[in-house]
Amino acid sequence: MTKNKYFVYWCKDCDIDFLFRAIKKKNFKAHCPVCGDFIHTELVKHLWTDKHYVYHKQYSLEEDDILIECRNRKMPVAEIMKILDGRTDKSIYSRIRQLKDKGRIAR
Ligand SMILES: [Zn+2]
């Protein structure tokens, strides 16, 4: 399987992050999948992935387990980001909130 390069963009307007296949074009601006605009999108980081990425991909059971374990060890989100490659801090924070709602992480 070939590795594809992706860029993570963030739309300041909608407060969401999304992935875009790397396009070799100067000053390329990604369009936000929600508002369709590109004025408020910002490049967050580059990443390589060999997984087919689905926008706002669901967290796998494995990722949840890692996240819960990391939180139990009181690890900061910046550290968790290094383990859960491809997940942004915003994404991790919102997943932690969901897991707390489900009672899988202690409040
Ligand atoms: Zn937007």
Q: Report the range of poorest mean pLDDT among 31-40, 47-56, 69-78.
A: 47-56
Is residue 26 a contact partner of residue 44, using CB atoms and an 8 Å limit? no
96/22: higher pLDDT: 96
Cβ-in-10-Å burial (0-12, 13-18, 19+) of 7 comes to middle
* The CATH number of domain 4-49, selected from 2.40.50, 2.20.28, 2.60.120, 2.60.40: 2.20.28
Ligand 1 centroid distance, CA of 51 (Å) = 25
Closest listed residue to residue 47, CA positions, set 99, 94, 12, 91: 91
Domain spans of the chain, in order of start: 4-49, 61-101
| Neighbouring residues of the ion ligand 1, judged by CB less than 5 Å | 11, 13-14, 32, 34-35
In the reported structure, the alpha carbon of residue 11 is separated from the centroid of ligand 1 by a whole-number distance in angstroms of: 5
How crowded is the C-beta side of 33, counted as CA atoms within 13 Å? Answer: 11
Assessment of whether the complete model's pTM goes beyond 0.75: no
In this predicted structure, the answer to whether residue 107 has a pLDDT above a threshold of 70 is yes
Mean pLDDT, the chain, rounded, equals 82
Q: Taking phi first (over 0 means left), then psi (-120 to 50 degrees means alpha), and beta for anything else, what does residue 70 get?
A: alpha
- Cα 68 to ligand 1 centre (Å): 30
